[in-house]
Chain A
């Protein structure tokens, strides 16, 4: 691992995520995992489903 990457990981380890950053990561995770299995899953699909889930809560 390069020094630069190590420094960035160390810095990221102790920085708390804001709620909007966490939501961004959540949607990014969902897109990355679902799209690799099915190209029909787009970022828009994930956003729509995330909004629907939010409404149900």
Chain B
């Protein structure tokens, strides 16, 4: 009898710079399509009110990074540096909770700030950058 062992598959990552650029462009187009599908889904008459959830963010992150990063669709497991920036994103273990806070902030302010969507957008970008 052999020992039972799980072995996770490794995702295939594109390394050729030209192919990576093509894939990044394609992923971004598919990400736009995914966002439009979400908008259609959430604006159906009988659909419950929109709530931004970390699962939605991870779904969109997976589309953006598929074939480019081993962490497509999951939280990063370690620290990250942003080249050319002095900004230091939060430690990896804080990412899930900070992302939940970001989602709650956006959901809670969604209807309060419909007359100033640029302010909500700015806050979301600021919070997103700090988590990264």
Size range of the interface on A?
20 to 34
Size range of the interface on B?
10 to 19
- Cα-based distance from A18 to B27 in the complex (angstroms): 23
- Cα-based distance from A8 to B7 in the complex (angstroms): 55
- Cα-based distance from A55 to B29 in the complex (angstroms): 14
A34 adjacent to B28 (CB under 8 Å)? yes
- B128 on the A face (CB < 8 A): no
Q: Knowing A38-B21, A41-B21 touch, does A1 contact B118 (C-beta < 8 A)?
A: yes
B28 adjacent to A29 (CB under 8 Å)? yes
Interface residues of B, Cβ cutoff 8 Å to A: 17-18, 20-22, 24-33, 64, 116-118
28 pairs of residues in contact across A and B, judged by CB atoms under 8 Å? A1-B118, A9-B117, A9-B118, A25-B32, A26-B32, A26-B33, A29-B32, A30-B31, A31-B25, A33-B28, A33-B64, A34-B24, A34-B28, A37-B24, A38-B21, A38-B24, A40-B17, A40-B18, A40-B21, A41-B28, A45-B21, A46-B25, A46-B28, A46-B29, A48-B22, A48-B25, A50-B29, A53-B30
